[in-house]
Amino acid sequence: MTAPTLTARVAPTGIKLKDGFAAFYAFALDPNACIWETEVQLPSLMGGDAIDTTTMWNDVYMTKALQQLVEHGDASMTVGYDPQFLSDILSLINQNGSVTCHLPDTSTYTFWGGLTEFEPEPYKKGEFPTANCTIVVTNTDTSGNEVGPVLVSAANT
């Protein structure tokens, strides 16, 4: 039986974002889509629920194992939009393609996925009309092959 080891916290060496401005998504299938991002959220990274490995041979503790695969949660954005181009937005729905998130520090995060929801908010007097969008990360290219995302860090450019 091996006890866990104490690990000291070490100062991070990366680039700390100071402001969330400006970030935006680009769809390879329509890179000049008539949307104007007001909020952008990257997809989450999830390892999935723990696997219960407890057996009748355990003495004191319930035990678990971590899954081997990583799942991306949905990405999202809130956008202003040109109503004349709703047909262009419709042409992006459920179309798998390359999607790039441009981050405030000029890093990019590119993945296979597609727009699955475009939900306009109610029009209100004195408010900027927006829509909430959901982008699903498929991690599969157009041939169905498993392909993970590509991060190009501003620190490496």
Q: Which residues of 72-83 are buried (b: 16+ CB within 10 A; e: fewer)?
A: beebbbbbebee
Residue 7 tokens read as: 């690990």
Query: What DSSP string runs through 52-71?
Result: E---TT-SS---EE--S--E
Q: What is the pTM of this model?
A: 0.90
E strand or H helix at 120: strand 108-120
State the DSSP H helix or E strand holding residue 126, giving kind and residue range, or none if neither. Answer: none
Asked whether the predicted pLDDT for residue 154 surpasses 90, the reply is: no
Quick count: other Cβ atoms within 10 Å of Cβ 94? 11
The percent helix, strand, coil of the chain (3-state, each to 5) is 10, 35, 55
Q: Which two tokens stand for residue 133?
A: 């969008």
DSSP-assigned beta bridge partners for residue 52: 64
In which band, very low, low, confident or very high, does the pLDDT at 67 lie, cut at 50, 70 and 90? Answer: very high
List the structure tokens of 144.
């169905």
pLDDT value at residue 155: 74
Residue 75 has pLDDT above 90, yes or no: yes
